[in-house]
Amino acid sequence: MGELPKNLDIVDPLGEIRSYAKELWRRDGAPSEKDWTDYWEKAEAMVVGGVSYGAPSGRQERTVPDVTSSPGLTAGINQSENPLLSVVASAITKELDEHEAMCLANILRTHTLTVQGVGSIEPASNEAVAAILSEVAREYPVELLQQHGTGSPDFRSIPVEARQLYWSKKIAEWSAADVALSNADRNTVYRLLDRLRSESRVLAIVG
């Protein structure tokens, strides 16, 4: 995958709306009689109200609060023990939905990162990627939450081993499907790559 042109403004409005809708559903207590699509209209209004697509200077910053902000994403991560997870958590700054998780998995499995003080980190194995997603991805089936009897929409209430197993299965599904990336997928991949490149410890990303 080539370098993203620095003057190219990537926009993934449907992905943003989907992410907002799913978060609104969770914040409403993840009611079983509804799903995230019931919150699409409200999520769309939030995104449209905070984004300008026609401004001459390019896309403007959202003025609405980021409902997925997670300042504690890097808490408890030991940089020396898991430098890749440390870099990823610091770069993305907020928990990912499933679509973003799929795109991050694509990056980590196909790119080599050069990290200050660590050196070259080769493309990660499926198991390593699943372990990273278990710490930074928030989207899980309601059935998995219910299976562990938490009654909470917080993904961290699911045991880490179960989260890793879930993502291992998802990665296997994505690999088996072998579907070409859509335009929305590419936009999200480029956005996440841009985030990773902006992390001060990341010296280079090649893939």
Give percent of the chain with pLDDT exceeding 90.
Answer: 25
Q: Between the CA of residue 189 and those of 102, 181, 183, 198, what are the distances in Å?
A: 9, 9, 10, 14
**DSSP H helical segments within 93-125, as ranges?**
98-110
Helix (H, G, I), strand (E, B) or coil at 162: helix
How far, in Å, CA of 190 to CA of 188, rounded? Answer: 5
Residue with tokens 């929409």: 153
Question: What does the block give as tokens for 166?
Answer: 């879930």
Question: In this structure, which amino acid lies at residue 102?
Answer: M
Counted residue by residue, the chain has a size of: 207
pLDDT in tens, 6-47: 444 445 567 677 777 777 777 777 777 777 777 777 777 766
Question: What does the block give as tokens for 80?
Answer: 């020396």
Q: Is the pTM of this model over 0.85?
A: no
Question: Pairing state of beta strands 119-121 and 112-115?
Answer: antiparallel
Question: Average pLDDT in the 166-176 region?
Answer: 91
List the domain boundaries for the chain: 69-206
Question: Average pLDDT in the 59-66 region?
Answer: 34
Question: Average pLDDT in the 65-73 region?
Answer: 41
pLDDT class for 155, splitting at 50, 70, 90?
Answer: confident
On the question of pLDDT at 66 being above 50, the answer is no
How far, in Å, CA of 51 to CA of 34, rounded? Answer: 27
Question: In this structure, which amino acid lies at residue 97?
Answer: D
- pLDDT of res. 114: 93
- pLDDT of res. 30: 75
pLDDT class for 1, splitting at 50, 70, 90?
Answer: very low
- pLDDT of res. 132: 94
On the question of pLDDT at 146 being above 50, the answer is yes
- Position with higher pLDDT, 88 vs 81: 88
Question: What does the block give as tokens for 132?
Answer: 């990273």
Mean pLDDT (the chain) is 75
Rg (Cα) of the chain, in Å, rounded?
17
How far, in Å, CA of 198 to CA of 66, rounded? Answer: 19
How far, in Å, CA of 103 to CA of 79, rounded? Answer: 23
Question: Average pLDDT in the 157-164 region?
Answer: 88
Is residue 13 within 8 A of residue 184, CB to CB? The reply is no
